[in-house]
């Protein structure tokens, strides 16, 4: 059962109203069970309390490391209790703070199925449609303790964090799912990775069939996730703050399927536009 944390914000929609920057400080907030929001107004970082220590999911931009740790402290947790860090995808806006968080906490970084090389180097995968942009924002190299295979779980204090490789947004995109209970109610939380198909100028998915196939495969995996409560790396993508504030339902077992279907439609529309564009 979760322990009450007086510093947890109950109205995140108001707390971040008019502020959605990646580095805009946000208060910590309770999500469900022993899962907490400790990120910024524009980028998600999650904290999960287990009997064997704390698990952090993502870290945000490089400048967010201190903001994340401040939120951990506000909840009453010692930062040295963070024992594991999991990553959604290998872009600076979500993993940029991980190297510093690892250094400051001593935590082990568990890479998703296809992330380790990029996390260790701090450089994007050559096949990433955003690679030319990401090379301008290199990350500090991260020491990876292990790679979690697709469909297998890191078990921390009896909580199983299952990794799902879904390379829609980036080659190393990974969603994570875990079970939480609150009183007699138990739910599966899905940290569903980003689904947008952003690219550098001039990139055409129609000319990159392998990447396009990976997008479709990744979206299908997200659609099939066990998913009572969806959370996304950009909180706005899953309407998270209104849901935490009580103005929209927190629980929706169809949310991951809907999230993936919307992205699939957007991707189809992009392919049509690319096909119609002059070469």
Q: Could you confirm whether 11 is annotated as catalytic?
A: no
Q: Could you confirm whether 125 is annotated as catalytic?
A: no
DSSP 15-53: HTTT---TT-----EEEETTEEE-S-SSS--EEEEETTE
- Catalytic residue from among 58, 93, 128, 193: 93
Q: Could you confirm whether 150 is annotated as catalytic?
A: no
Strands in 166-269 per DSSP E? 174-182, 185-191, 229-231
- Catalytic residue from among 37, 191, 203, 259: 203
Question: Token digits for 163?
Answer: 């990794």
Cβ atoms 23, 68 nearer than 8 A: no
3-class SS of residue 123: coil
Cβ atoms 67, 98 nearer than 8 A: no
DSSP 68-118: HHHHHHHTT--GGGEEEEE-S-SSHHHHTTHHHHHHHH-PEEEE-TTTHHH
- Catalytic residue from among 169, 191, 193, 259: 169
Q: Distance (Å, rounded) from C-alpha 234 to C-alpha 168? A: 15
- Catalytic residue from among 30, 37, 89, 193: 89
Q: Distance (Å, rounded) from C-alpha 188 to C-alpha 226? A: 7
Q: Could you confirm whether 234 is annotated as catalytic?
A: yes
- Catalytic residue from among 91, 191, 193, 228: 91
- Catalytic (active-site) positions: 89, 91, 93-94, 169, 203, 234
């Amino acid at each position: 059962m979760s322990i009450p944390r007086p510093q947890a914000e109950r109205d995140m929609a108001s707390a971040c109203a008019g502020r959605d920057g990646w580095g805009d400080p946000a208060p910590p907030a309770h999500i469900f069970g022993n899962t907490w929001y400790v990120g910024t107004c524009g980028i998600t970082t999650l904290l999960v309390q287990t009997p064997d220590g704390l698990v952090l999911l993502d870290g945000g931009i490089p400048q967010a490391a201190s903001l994340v740790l401040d939120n951990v402290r506000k909840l009453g947790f010692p930062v040295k209790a963070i024992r594991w860090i999991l990553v959604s995808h290998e872009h600076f806006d979500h993993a940029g703070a991980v190297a510093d968080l690892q250094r400051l906490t001593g935590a082990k970084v568990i890479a998703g199925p296809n992330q380790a090389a990029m996390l260790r180097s701090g450089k994007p995968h050559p096949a990433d449609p955003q690679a030319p942009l990401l090379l301008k924002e290199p990350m500090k190299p991260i020491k990876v303790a292990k790679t979690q295979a697709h469909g297998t779980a890191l078990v921390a204090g009896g909580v199983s964090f299952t990794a799902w490789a879904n390379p829609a947004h980036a080659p190393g995109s990974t969603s994570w799912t875990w079970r939480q209970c609150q009183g007699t109610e138990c739910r599966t939380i899905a940290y569903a990775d980003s689904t947008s198909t952003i690219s550098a100028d001039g990139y055409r998915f129609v000319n990159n069939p392998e990447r396009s196939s990976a997008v479709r495969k990744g979206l299908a995996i997200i659609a099939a996730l066990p998913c009572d409560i969806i959370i996304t790396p950009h909180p706005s993508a899953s309407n998270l703050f209104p849901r935490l504030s009580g103005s929209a339902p927190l629980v929706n077992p169809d949310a991951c399927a809907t999230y993936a279907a919307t992205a699939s439609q957007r991707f189809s529309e992009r392919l049509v536009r690319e096909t119609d564009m002059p070469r």
